[in-house]
């Protein structure tokens, strides 16, 4: 089978008698360093042959791939972006679609998948921030999983690690400053709730009076992120949380005005409040980190903390709790406290006495 491949370089001669080459695609030119036509043609043939073999192999590969999947040869990264924007819950779909409208993806947007090289992905990776890097790898993995790429363009180990600054927790002093500067009672109670429960901003805004079990003193709610069939979080109400919930409506939404706002609006409002209070470097999500760190600092069992925050992964929860100030107690004091909690039953002493009597009789 013969495949016609256009020559990459052509030959021309200038008035000085020297022969030059010109690349047909980019019009880039260079000298061959000779005035002898035969030698110039031989050098040009070598340059074309060096380019011809990889191009021929790619042409053959495209022919075989087209027989397997007619769209594989022409499928671009924009198709993968459109597909990813249909995955996940509605808020995730909106976030993906918004992210892929960025001009950062233009270098590969119309590029066919089969013509993409590792250098293309690495160039895009190094030229942009963590958001683009995150979605770029997800796009690549989705294309591989769907069979739209015959093999990974970049192996798992070849992807550069994403270095990001960990989100910090809001401190008690910063939270107090935010509360003191907030004049709206509903928003003030909302921020207090996030601090006492560690709920996400959407879960906190969606709480209703029906989520409160006053008889058993438990707040029960499902995390929106985990879906309607997930196990709900059950949080025993302490004194502060109970007083806070008692100040909210006895029926319907606990925060009706805040619930009607979008997540972006709530974030912007909190950021504005932080600027007024002189607090920087935190967001509404910092309340979840603060709750995790407070739980770790006071020795709250990790399994309960994971349940409260809806973390199925121990590693994820430890990342949230990282940065907590933990002072380890003295071991001898801890042992003394543990032994003081041991309750010795009378029946145990009686059995021990009977066993010693039987042992002495056997010896006699």
163 compared with 134, residue with greater pLDDT: 134
Burial class of 46 by CB neighbour count within 10 A (0 to 12, 13 to 18, 19+) = exposed
Specify which residues 221 forms β-bridges with: 233
- Give the pLDDT of residue 55: 57
Would you say residue 205 has pLDDT above 90? yes
Q: How sure is the predictor about 54, in pLDDT bands with cuts at 50, 70 and 90?
A: low
- Residue-level pLDDT at 79: 95
Q: d(Cα 223, Cα 74) in Å, to the nearest integer? A: 41
Band of pLDDT at residue 72, cut at 50, 70 and 90: confident
Per-residue pLDDT, averaged over 129-141, amounts to: 93
| 106 touches 78 (CB < 8 A) | no
**Whether the Cβ atoms of residue 233 and residue 223 lie closer than 8 Å to each other:** yes
Q: Residue 249's pLDDT is what?
A: 93
Higher per-residue confidence, 12 vs 50? 12
Query: What is the model's pLDDT at position 2?
Result: 45
336 Cβ partners below 8 Å, 6+ apart? none
Q: What integer pLDDT is reported at residue 272 of this predicted model?
A: 95
pLDDT tens-digit series, residues 257-280: 999 999 889 999 999 999 999 999
- CA 5, 8, 13 angle in degrees (round to 5)? 130
Q: Can you give the pLDDT at residue 302? A: 82
Q: What is the pLDDT of residues 88-100, one digit of tens each?
A: 888 889 989 999 9
pLDDT score at 3: 45
- Residue 1: pLDDT band (50, 70, 90) is very low
Whether the Cβ atoms of residue 65 and residue 114 lie closer than 8 Å to each other: yes
CB-based burial label for 201 (10 Å; 0-12, 13-18, 19+): buried
CA dihedral of residues 40, 44, 50, 56 (deg, nearest 10): -150
Token pair listed for 287: 């309340």
> Higher confidence at residue 31 or residue 354?
31
E runs forming strands in the chain: 9-13, 19-23, 29-31, 212-213, 218-221, 233-236
pTM: 0.61
Confidence grade of residue 114 (pLDDT, cut at 50, 70, 90): confident
The 3-state DSSP class for residue 88 equals coil
Instruction: Of 287, 19, 306, 326, give the one whose Cα is nearest residue 168.
Output: 287
Contacts of residue 43, Cβ cutoff 8 Å, sequence gap at least 6: 21, 32, 34
* Least confident window among 74-78, 167-171, 308-312, 334-338: 334-338
Q: What is the mean pLDDT of residues 302-324?
A: 72
Q: Over the chain, what is the mean pLDDT?
A: 84
Residue 361 has pLDDT above 70, yes or no: no
């Amino acid at each position: 089978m013969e495949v016609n491949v256009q020559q990459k370089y052509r030959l021309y001669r200038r008035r000085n008698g020297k022969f030059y080459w010109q690349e047909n695609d980019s019009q880039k030119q260079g000298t061959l360093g000779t005035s002898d036509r035969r030698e110039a043609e031989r050098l040009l043939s070598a340059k074309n042959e060096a380019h011809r073999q990889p191009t021929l192999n790619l042409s053959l590969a495209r022919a075989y791939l087209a027989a397997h999947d007619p769209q594989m040869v022409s499928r671009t990264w924009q198709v993968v972006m459109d597909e990813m924007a249909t995955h996940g819950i509605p808020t995730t779909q909106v976030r993906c679609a918004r992210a892929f409208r960025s001009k950062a993806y233009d270098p590969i947007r119309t590029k066919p998948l089969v013509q993409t090289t590792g250098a293309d992905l690495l160039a895009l990776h190094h030229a942009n921030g963590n958001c683009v890097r995150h979605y770029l790898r997800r796009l690549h993995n989705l294309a591989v999983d769907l069979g739209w790429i015959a093999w990974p363009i970049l192996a798992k180990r070849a992807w550069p690690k994403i270095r990001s600054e960990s989100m910090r927790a809001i401190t008690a002093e910063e939270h107090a400053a935010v509360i003191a500067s907030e004049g709206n009672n509903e928003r003030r109670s909302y921020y207090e709730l996030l601090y006492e429960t560690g709920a996400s901003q959407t879960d906190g805004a969606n709480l209703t009076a029906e989520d409160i079990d006053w008889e058993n003193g438990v707040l029960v709610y499902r995390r929106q992120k985990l879906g309607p069939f997930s196990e709900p979080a059950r949080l025993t109400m302490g004194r502060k949380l109970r007083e806070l919930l008692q100040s909210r409506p006895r029926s319907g939404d606990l925060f009706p005005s805040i619930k009607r706002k979008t997540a972006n609006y709530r974030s912007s409002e909190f950021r504005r409040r932080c600027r007024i209070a002189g607090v920087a470097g935190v967001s509404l999500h910092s309340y979840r980190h603060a709750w995790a760190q407070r739980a770790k600092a006071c020795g709250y069992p990790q399994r309960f903390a994971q349940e409260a925050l809806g973390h199925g992964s121990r590693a994820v929860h430890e990342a949230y709790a990282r940065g907590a100030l933990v002072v380890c107690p003295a071991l001898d004091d801890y042992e003394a406290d543990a032994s003081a909690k041991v309750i010795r039953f009378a029946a145990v002493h009686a059995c021990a006495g009977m066993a010693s009597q039987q042992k002495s009789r056997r010896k006699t």
